[in-house]
Structure 1
Amino acid sequence: MNSETFLDYYEILEISENATNEEIRDAYKKKALETHPDRFVQGSSDSAISPTISQEEAKDRFQKIADAYYVLSDETRRAQYDRVKTSRKKKGESATTLDVGRANANQIFGDVFEELLRPEVDNPHWFYAPIGAVTGGALGFICANVPGLVLGAYAGNKLGSIRDAKGVSVYDAYSKLSSNHKAAILSSLAAKLITSGRI
């Protein structure tokens, strides 16, 4: 970050400079849900929180919100940011720059929303689940006719689902969903968290 692009992260998250870690996290959740680019894919029904924003504008805002959270949620980075911000006020706009790197917006979103996304991501069946169901059913039929087919298909499907999700984070699973499914999940989370006043 250079002096020309110094941003007021408190203003971006709409919080005070004395905000607690919990307030920072809650503000991030609200802003991230409002501007997540997946909510603005063509054909998705936005929940009317930010109906006029384009997907490109959403990407830019989403990155700035992630950067703000990345800096303010860490004690060391926040202290450095506050020193630079204070110095710029005293010495003028061109004084002291801040170099804390750039946040990985998707990784931060996945980390913060992991628990909330888990029940919303409907355990998608990608490849191994249907293959497991077919092969399990075939083996079950060979061993025990129709009852074996039903039991084998069920067991194969469950084992396949486990294999599909093995070693995959919730956000990775979310990322493999269709655009409309992702948009629906984000709108659902926004409705639950923002309109209910939980954040």
Structure 2
Amino acid sequence: MTSCPALLRRPALAIGSNLEPVTVSPLVNRTSFNQPRHSSAQLLRRPTFSDHSPPSNMGSTFPDYYAILGIEPSATPEQVKTAYKRKSLLCHPDRIPAGPEAEAKKKKATVEFQAVADAYYTLSDTSRRSNYDQLRSSRPSSSRTSNFDSSSSYFNFFNSARQSNTADAQDAYDDDKESDAGTQPDAEHVFGSVFEDMLRPEVNRHVPVWTWAGAASGAVLGFIAGNLPGAAVGGFAGSKLGAVRDAKGKAVYTVFKELGSDQKAQVLAALAAKVFGMAGIGGQGSR
């Protein structure tokens, strides 16, 4: 019986032979050999957390964003936002006064501030919250923690899940409007977006030369509204800092960050008085 290599080899011609050369077509298309076949539905289906097992880099603990915000899993979007406002004001790094231990305290507060922002970013969006709840329900309750350091592992897992998909599925995923869901948000951007309207008058007290003028008035003084025409307001990730900008193109939170440390502390104290005053909760002592 003739072997496969012999069938696939182009036959050699003897010198002087009258035979015409014959090319034998390969029996197997090697490019498709042993390749998995995917239906169009499989390729276009958006991957979810349930498709993947938690990788080793996620560790034995899982961030419980409900516990981090101090709310129940049944919390409404408005309750999620209110909880974020309270928690973020209590742990904002700019509340730490100068002193011998200020650097260590700010470092600790920054980790908490980021975890609180991660929690709000995840739970404030229907799609992100659904994906998070799927993964949370698959983990034993003993592994859930309100430890702020565990938050980064959640986003590392999401990115790992995305990278493990086929190229076609990845392309379809990237076309989705929520394709940034695996990117850990900038905590400062989240805070600036959520507190934008409340920050404006407080910042204006410390920068009186930039006074607010409504868009309808047509005035070109102080803060003016709008990103690029048609752009969504209040993005959390990337470079979107919110819609309210001054005449030089600065977002209101950027102006806030340029204030002195004492001024920033005063602004945050004013915001806390409004937020906790409405909720009937005390200020710093309640932390």
Quickly say closer, same or farther: Cα 1:198–1:106, change in 2 above 3 A: farther
Partner Cα distance (1:17, 1:124) in 2: 39
Partner of 2:267: 185
Partner Cα distance (1:101, 1:159) in 2: 36
Partner of 1:170: 252
Please give the TM-score of this superposition, normalised by the length of structure 1. 0.68
Partner of 2:73: 17
Q: Whose RCO is larger (CA < 8 A, sep 6+)?
A: 1
**Contact conserved, 2:206 with 2:263, CA < 8 A, in 1?**
no
Partner Cα distance (1:78, 1:198) in 2: 28
Deviation at 1:125, TM superposition (A): 5.4
Deviation at 1:6, TM superposition (A): 2.3
% identical equivalent positions: 40
Map 1:61-140 → 2, pairs under 5 A: 61-89=112-140, 93=143, 98-99=157-158, 100-122=182-204
Partner Cα distance (1:67, 1:30) in 2: 15
Deviation at 1:122, TM superposition (A): 2.3
Partner Cα distance (1:196, 1:125) in 2: 26
Quickly say closer, same or farther: Cα 1:118–1:86, change in 2 above 3 A: same
**Contact conserved, 1:41 with 1:55, CA < 8 A, in 2?**
no
User: What do you get for the CA RMSD once the two structures are aligned?
Assistant: 3.1
Partner Cα distance (2:188, 2:125) in 1: 18
Q: How many residues align?
A: 157
**Contact conserved, 2:81 with 2:120, CA < 8 A, in 1?**
yes
**Structure 1 stretches lacking a partner, 5+ long:** 44-52, 130-157
Partner of 1:28: 84
Partner of 1:3: 58
Aligned amino acid, residue 3 of structure 1 = M
Quickly say closer, same or farther: Cα 1:83–1:105, change in 2 above 3 A: same
Partner Cα distance (2:204, 2:188) in 1: 19
**Structure 2 stretches lacking a partner, 5+ long:** 1-54, 144-153, 159-181, 210-218, 225-244, 282-287
Runs of at least 4 residues off by over 3 Å: 123-126, 158-164
Quickly say closer, same or farther: Cα 1:186–1:88, change in 2 above 3 A: same
Instruction: State the structure with more CA Rg.
Output: 2
Partner of 1:143: none
Quickly say closer, same or farther: Cα 1:68–1:161, change in 2 above 3 A: closer
Looking at secondary structure, tell me which structure has more helix per residue: 1
